[in-house]
């Protein structure tokens, strides 16, 4: 039995919650290390958006509108 199969057999003996945690850790291990500049830029953007929400200057769009915009873009890319 290969080590992969042995690990898989052991993992399948875990509870669903434990298997989910193992899967999450395995998937996270596949991600490339994050570029610190990119992480910092995203954090700054999140902070900016949060401040807009707190000041009441943020514009919100309903899920129905967003879904229709996505569907429209998909339709135009297929044509």
Q: pTM of whole model > 0.85?
A: no
- Using an 8 Å Cβ cutoff, are 52 and 58 in contact? yes
Whether residues 48 and 73 fall in one domain: yes
Give the C-alpha separation, 16 to 23, whole Å: 10
Q: What confidence tier does 39 reach under pLDDT thresholds 50, 70, 90?
A: confident
- Contact (CB, 8 A) for 49 and 58: yes
* Phi, psi dihedral angles at 53 (to 5 degrees): -65, -45
**38: CB partners within 8 A, 6+ apart:** none
The answer on 73 and 40 residing in a single domain is yes
> Taking the CA atoms of the chain, what radius of gyration do you get in angstroms?
21
What is the domain range of residue 58? 36-78
Domain count along the chain: 2
Average pLDDT over every residue of 41-48 = 95
């Amino acid at each position: 039995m290969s080590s992969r199969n042995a690990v898989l057999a052991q993992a399948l003996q875990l509870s669903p919650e434990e298997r989910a945690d193992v899967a999450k850790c395995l998937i996270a291990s596949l991600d490339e290390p994050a570029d610190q500049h990119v992480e910092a830029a995203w954090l700054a953007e999140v902070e900016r958006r949060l401040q807009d929400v707190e000041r009441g200057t943020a514009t919100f769009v309903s899920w129905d509108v967003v879904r229709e915009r996505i569907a429209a873009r998909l339709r135009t890319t297929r044509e």
